[in-house]
Amino acid sequence: MNKKIILIALSFSIPIILISSIMIYLVEGPIKREFLKEHSQNFIQEATFIDSTLEQLEMYIANWGSGLREDHLMEYPLSIDNFQEVNEISERIFLLENISPLIESATLAVHHEDPYYLNSGGTWPQTSNTSLPPLEALDLEAEFQWVPYQTGNKRSLYFVQNLRPQDNDVPIFLFAGINLDKISNLLQFSTENSQGFQAYLIDEKLLTQSGPQSAELTELLSSLDIPSTGSKSYAYKDYSVVTVSKDYINHQWTFASIVPISTLTQPIQALSSILLVSAFLLIVGTILYSYYVSKREYQPVYELMKEIANGENEWEKSSTNATEYLKNQWLELQEEKKLLVAKSKENEKRVKRAILNRMIRGELSYYSEEELWRNMEESGWKDIQKGYQFYAIQLTELINGVDGNHHVDLNDFILNNLLDDLAEKHFPEFTSLRPVSNCVYIFVSTPSNNEEIESQFVSDVFHYVNQILKRHVTVTASPLSKELKALPKVFNDLSYNRFFHEMENKNQFLFSTHHKRMIKIGATYPIHYERMMMDQIRNHKKEDLYSLTHQFIEVLVSQHPIQIYVLEAVKQLYDALSFLLLENGLFSNEYVDKEKLLLHIETHFNTATLADELYQSFIEPVYELYHTQTKESLKKEILMLRDYLDEHFQDVSLSLEQSAEKLGIDPYLLSKEFKRYIGMNYIDYITTLRIDHAKHLLMNTDLKINTIAEKIGYNGSYFNRLFKKKVGVTPGQYREQKHTKISR
């Protein structure tokens, strides 16, 4: 009986032991290896992105420093008392501090007989306490250098540029302080494991870190196996370790990521231990309770399931047998793996887009063609050597009779996601760019000589954009190219030629050529409408501005029904009105920016809608600004004119036209505003001054009437008629009446 009981116990315990072993060797092992692989790939991509960000930051700071040296430092050292020069440099330093969130501070150090520091807050002598590295810590001959520096417990990092002008022995250094907290934020690796620790080291010395830092992690960090250059990944104890190093500007830069893997495998190990212990308990329990097995022989099995499921209630919710429960656990692990893979793909897209943006901006123009191919392939572009092509997909006018979404940001978001889906459907390898509003650029790395694929893609774009965004769309395709050095030109040509669509409210497909079509707008530019609009603004007449704006656009479209001509004409009109405003003390930051104005109108193909947008966004605000600005100024000028007339009313050359010409305004406007501020029109005011003075001369002098007339700017006969009209009697009668009253 005991043998039979033992056999029964073994028949239950052996499968349990096998299951626990399988979980340890066939489940834990692959998951651990997959985690190590994903961690390595993701962190290398993340480090590459951070490295690119720092290189771009170096370029920004270097360009800024070169510009400062050319504009202000060629005559250095200058006196600290030159307040204008110091203020201009301080303002430029303030702009540098705000060019990137990674720049924490910027300070100019001038080392001459009276050494001082200069930043956006002003200047102070170098004898004062400062947290900046001393001159001895710098390489005085290096043009650029990274300088880690520690004062007390505070660690700092500076990008230092030598701005000393040629033939000048005075050291001038730009210290750009890097925000280590922001660098730390960049180091935060995208992982579900909250115990991960990432660090940034220079010459194997810790500069900044993110994540919890325990004593064990600190010890592990100090014993890292760091290669001089390149990347290295390995498992150390219960941690996954990845390092990426680069030898740059006499320093070894290292990004390190340490992530515990015990939290991933611990549930499986714990479950396996429970199974093993339960197996032994089952054997012992079976022997002890062999005589009671008739009614309760399956009770230990149920107890075992409860332990695995962490309690009876949880077990009942999840499944009715162990196999189903384990299956669900496995499916959960697979879902987590899918999330990690999705994040890896997103990082890959970001890296591919980053290298493409750098090439478009010309940052890699000094690379050879072979180096460009290699960089593209290393960034994930596998089929790039087969050729590439750009597509520009641009939203235009709302479909007639449809109320679409007018929110630009939401339109851009929907368009970008929609085109990502369509490009993924038609092209094996692509990325999308969104450098401007209402337009998305698609870069395709495989050759698009298959006209059927291109035709289907364009057809789908037309269909889905019309259906979802309720707008017409223009698709512009660049020629197929296999030369990467020509990529910036291909993109710029496409960005220019996408505006050569017809001014018609319909879907359009264009093909961008490498040569730019010349725009000759001058001979047909409706200059007379521009002049009429400027006259309306100068003379404070708003009533005709709206109709003139519509006529301006209608004439443009009738002469050149291509959008690029309309945009160029609007630029010319903008420049003319901006000059008028500048003459009256109004600057471009007080009204809509030219580029923003063009973004507002470039989606409108209907002439009436386009003219309304131009009027509301620019013409009307410009009129109101000019009216407000010149209103008070005109009042002062008219009061000054009144004072001038009070002193020079005898001048026979005085006229409304002459005064208007001196003030630079229209005679009609002068007459209207003169009456508004003085209470009578220009001619009546001069006439009143002259008649009053004539009365004074008639009463207090014995001058002849003709002489008096000449003194006030009239001939004799006209003076007699005018005097009688204004006073009621002739000059002679007025003198006689007054003398008679005096004699009485």
Map out the domains of the chain as residue ranges: 2-27+270-325, 74-183, 385-511, 522-633, 649-743
Contact status, residue 157 vs residue 87, Cβ threshold 8 Å: no
Matching residue, tokens 């890959």: 348
Contact status, residue 672 vs residue 638, Cβ threshold 8 Å: no
Nearest to 378 by CA among 230, 488, 251: 230
Q: Where are the beta strands (DSSP E) in 239-333?
A: 239-248, 251-260
Q: Where are the beta strands (DSSP E) in 116-182?
A: 116-119, 122-125, 144-151, 154-162, 172-178
Measured distance CA(331)–CA(508) in Å, rounded: 48
Q: How far is CA 443 from CA 304, 353, 370, in A?
A: 58, 9, 20
One-letter amino acid at 146 equals W
Rounded (5°) CA angle 601-602-606: 75
27 pLDDT higher than 80: no
Quote the pLDDT of residue 515: 43
Quote the pLDDT of residue 295: 43
Contact status, residue 428 vs residue 637, Cβ threshold 8 Å: no
Answer whether CATH 3.30.450 is correct for domain 74-183.
Answer: yes
Comparison of pLDDT for 267 and 341, the residue scoring more: 341
Domain topology for 649-743: Arc Repressor Mutant, subunit A (1.10.10)
Measured distance CA(161)–CA(175) in Å, rounded: 7
DSSP lists the bridge partners of residue 475 as 393, 509
φ, ψ for residue 150, nearest 5 deg: -130, 130
Instruction: Give the pLDDT mean for 584-592.
Output: 81
332 pLDDT higher than 50: yes
434 pLDDT higher than 80: no
153 pLDDT higher than 80: no
Nearest to 603 by CA among 432, 437, 403: 437
One-letter amino acid at 207 equals L
Instruction: Give the pLDDT mean for 470-481.
Output: 90
Cα torsion through 678, 684, 687, 693, rounded to 10: -40
Quote the pLDDT of residue 191: 45
pLDDT-based confidence at residue 462 (cuts at 50, 70, 90)? very high
Domain topology for 385-511: Alpha-Beta Plaits (3.30.70)
pLDDT-based confidence at residue 329 (cuts at 50, 70, 90)? low
pLDDT-based confidence at residue 640 (cuts at 50, 70, 90)? confident
Residue 491, token pair as written in the block: 């993109």
The per-residue DSSP string of 223-256 comes to T----SSEEEEEEETTEEEEEEEEEETTEEEEEE
Percent residues over pLDDT 90 in the chain = 6
- Can you tell me whether residue 47 is helix, strand or coil? helix
Mean pLDDT of all residues belonging to the chain:
77
Comparison of pLDDT for 432 and 91, the residue scoring more: 432
Neighbours of 695 (CB within 10 A): 18
730 pLDDT higher than 60: yes
- Can you tell me whether residue 170 is helix, strand or coil? coil
The per-residue DSSP string of 502-544 comes to BSSSS-EEEE--SSPPP---GGGS-HHHHHHHHHHHHTT--TT
Q: pLDDT tens for residues 508-524?
A: 999 877 444 555 555 57
DSSP lists the bridge partners of residue 602 as none
End-to-end Cα separation, the chain, in angstroms: 164
pLDDT-based confidence at residue 424 (cuts at 50, 70, 90)? confident
